[in-house]
Amino acid sequence: MGQQGQVMTKKEVLFFNKVNVFIDASPRGYGFSYFAKKDFKPGQEVMRGWGKIIGHQTPHISVQIGTHKHYLPSVWTGRYWNHSCNPNACVKTRPDGFPSLRALKNIRKGDEINYHYSMTEYQWIKDADENHVSCLCGEKNCKKRILAFSQLSKNGQMRLKRERICSKYLLMVE
């Protein structure tokens, strides 16, 4: 795999992800999703993001990795990363600038992998899907909406920053 600080190849990312997860239909109604092929302990890397870098958010699928920087994931590099108000994974920025999903708590073989979209997205553009759909996570703490970082309370933003469970660029946001 890629050395520390070195840009990974798509082939390396695909291999890593295919070892760790499989794709199936989400029982939450999200369409397709990723599921763990093995157990993960908190902090362990579960998946790696990778894709074409663009300078803007798209209405569907793009993942924000910088102030004016998103990437378009493919099927095996984050396309089916789904949201939960009680996520089992968090986002850490790799040295190459792309995100990795790391276990936030114990993830068992067969568990659906999910994260809170506020860990990567600063705000939604007007025509973003997240502005028009309800959250389907079904968790007790579900907000019924999919919130971006800017929509969180100041305490919520500070928690993500303090625990360093969001994209690196969000750590700089005031």
Rg (CA), the chain: 15
Q: Which residues pair with 114 in a beta bridge?
A: 82
Helix (H) or strand (E) holding 34: strand 32-36
125 versus 4: the higher-pLDDT residue is 125
pLDDT score, position 52: 96
**From residue 1, how far is each of 7, 11, 12, 15 by CA, in Å?**
10, 10, 6, 9
What tens digit of pLDDT does each residue of 93-144 get?
999 999 999 999 999 999 999 999 999 999 999 999 999 999 999 999 999 9
pLDDT-based confidence at residue 5 (cuts at 50, 70, 90): low
CATH number for 10-172 (one of 2.60.120.260, 2.170.270.10, 3.60.9.10, 1.10.10.370): it is 2.170.270.10
Task: Centre a 10 Å sphere on the Cβ of residue 11 and count the other Cβ atoms it contains.
Answer: 9
Q: Which two tokens stand for residue 20?
A: 């760790």
pLDDT score, position 4: 52
